[in-house]
Structure 1
Amino acid sequence: MRGPETDPFANDLALLGDAAKGAGAIAARHFARGTKSWDKGGGLGPVTEADLAVNDYLQAKLTTARPAYGWMSEESDPLGDLARLRTEATFVIDPIDGTRAFIEGQKSFAHALAVVIDGMPVAAVVHLPLLDLTYTATRGHGAFLNGQPLRASARTDLTGARVLATRPAFEPRHWPGGVPDVERHCRPSLAWRLALVGEGAFDALITLRDSWDWDIAAAALIATEAGVRVSTRDGAPLRFNQPEARNPGVLAAPAPLHSTLLSARGLPAGTAGSPPAPTLKRSLS
């Protein structure tokens, strides 16, 4: 069993896991009875009463337990409040990832919770309460699904690979080296999609649109710890808790497929991989 004596992020992971279960209970109640929704405007998409209720619960629980940590959440003015940039560790949270699916009555929404230090996630939970799926990881200590270790796909041939992506990602203009001959699949939650690549249920993920930190920080750690190479759409390492709170797309696949996908996009293999462990100035438990 992992503990703080062997894993410096075990206590944070336990806190995130407990918070995710509480968030799941709140979301499940709203899901069962229905919830009001409206558009946030500015191209930011919909939000529901459930999103806000889960956000309020998580913010109270997590910041009470770790008052020195910063806070970034999709539903808490993440771009306006930059106090998070001055803290050693920051919670990066998506209260409900897959809000449209939630509104439509689909069970495939997720709660995505991460602790980020020096731009890198160190503890992460992606929890799908209505599907009874909980993905977890800490930096350097592996990734798990419902307590069982995860391992990415061992596939090396891109042709026929099972890739999670939206249809626009495969427009020919994005692929000067030729559109890959793959099986395209999709899931509503970006966090879940990335975790599914870590699980080995799919071989790769591609999203060419800029991706908000709260959608990908937790699952990026889970996938990386499962052996997936995770980068921006151009092959650069992801960085989190920056002022703009987003990365230029995501490309995630085992190393051989990752390199092949970059080549098909007309790009060099890149340097993305497992980043060095953050430098800790104090105990984070």
Structure 2
Amino acid sequence: MSTAMPFDAGTTFLPEVTAAVRTAGAALRDRHTPHARGVSLDEVVAEIHANDDAVLEVLREPLLRARPGSQWAEDELAGGALPPGEWWVVDPAEGNINHVHGMDDWAVTATLVRDNQPVLTVVHLPLTGATYTAVAGHGAHLDHRPLKVSAKTDLGAALTGTGQARPGEDERIFRRIGDSVTAMLASGLVVRVSVPATMQLIHVAAGRTDAFWQFSDVRSGLVAGALLVSEAGGTVTDLAGAPWNTASRDFLASAPGIHAAALKTLAPIA
């Protein structure tokens, strides 16, 4: 990911965006149960859509109002470049599949993307109350405390992670995921395979884990974490080593000290 120009305007309306995302998070928390909801695929999908609808009902208008002239990216599973201008890329229930199965790894995310670079993001974890924020050029924070990525320089000591971006992806992507896990198991220390991407990327930004990669361009799962990691001092590229943006077809975010070694391990599979 290239170093974006500082988004000074973002600091003025970040509190408004944060408040809106926290309010939406409360709506999603109220829908959470400690047991799975839905047995058949149709029932699970219906629960997922119900979560999305409940959150968007309270989130969309406040975000558009916070940044007049901004637009809304409708499909949370879409990828690729956006048209010029400012767009809200939102995942109303990042980790929705976890939520409807009674698990804890889910969040509400809202990211403002300007000309295909994320410039402001809020990630709220309703069950813990934690809120991660970043504004381009102004650092990344967890509840106002600055975040900093890991200082590791040895991939052999690294805790890394990956996961699929969406159900039903091309079988070639599934094979790449499997091959990449095998390669990283041989090069790194431990590999976590889980969803959603944002819940892994907040750990990279906080220095708890050292790298995350994905063979996907699903914007809503990557833009928030990309900004958090880069603003926390990490390196964000595609798997060819080029700066990442929403048009990139794959993704790697890591501590800078292990980025080259992670690329060397993963690039032959990409």
Which TM bucket (shorter chain)? Answer: 0.7 to 0.9
Tell me: CA distance 1:56–1:35, structure 2 relative to 1, closer, same or farther (3 Å).
farther
Give the CA deviation at 1:262. Answer: 1.1
Please identify, of 12-21 and 105-114, the stretch whose mean Cα deviation from structure 2 is larger: 12-21
Please give the per-residue CA displacement for 1:92-144, whole angstroms capped at 9, x wherever unaligned. 11111101100111121011111111211111111111122211110011111
* Corresponding residue for residue 170 of structure 2: none
Cα pair 1:159 1:181 within 8 Å, conserved: yes
Equivalent residue number for residue 28 of structure 1: 29
In the superposition, relative to structure 1, how do residues 172 and 91 fare at CA in structure 2: closer, same or farther (>3 Å)? closer
Q: 1:78 to 1:156 in 2, by over 3 A?
A: closer
1:219 aligns with 2:225: yes
Say which structure is richer in helix. Answer: 2
Q: How many residues align?
A: 247
Question: Which residue is 1:141 aligned to?
Answer: 138
Note the alpha carbon deviations across 1:52-73, whole angstroms, 9 max, x for none.
Answer: 1112321122123334101114
Structure 1 counterpart SS, 2:123:
strand
User: In the alignment, residue 85 of structure 1 is paired with which amino acid?
Assistant: P
- Which residue, 114, 119, 123 being the options, matches 1:122? 119
- In structure 1, stretches of 5+ residues that fail to align are 1-5, 268-285
1:265/1:129 Cα in 2 relative to 1: closer, same or farther (>3 Å)? same
Within 2, Cα distance between the matches of 1:131 and 1:147? 15
Q: Identical aligned pairs, as a percentage?
A: 28
Does residue 204 of structure 2 align to residue 171 of structure 1?
no
Indicate conservation of the 8 Å contact 2:237/2:251, yes or no: yes
Please identify, of 147-156 and 46-55, the stretch whose mean Cα deviation from structure 2 is larger.
46-55
Q: Paired residue for 2:255?
A: 254
Q: CA deviation at 1:178?
A: 9.3
CA shift in 2, pair 1:265/1:11, >3 Å: same
> Residue 170 and residue 33 in structure 1: after superposition, are their counterparts in 2 closer, same or farther (change >3 A)?
closer
1:189, distance to aligned residue in structure 2 (A): 2.2
* Residues 1:21 and 1:112: Cα distance change in structure 2 (over 3 Å): same
Distance in structure 2 (CA, Å) of the matches to 1:107 and 1:173 = 24
Q: What code does the residue aligned with 2:51 have? A: A
Contact 1:136 1:144 in 2 (8 A): yes
| Corresponding position of 2:187 | 180
Matched to 2:210, the amino acid is D
Report SS of the residue matched to 1:31.
coil
In structure 2, what is the Cα distance between the partners aligned to 1:250 and 1:46?
29
The answer (yes or no) to whether the contact 1:161–1:182 under 8 Å persists in 2 is yes
> 1:128, 1:213 → 2: CA distance?
19
In the alignment, is the contact (CA less than 8 A) between 1:51 and 1:95 conserved in 2? yes
- Inter-partner Cα distance in structure 2 for 1:213 and 1:8: 23
The answer to whether residue 89 in structure 2 is matched with residue 92 in structure 1 is: yes
Q: How much does 1:172 deviate?
A: 6.2
Write the letter of the residue equivalent to 2:151: A
- Cα distance, 1:235 vs structure 2: 2.0
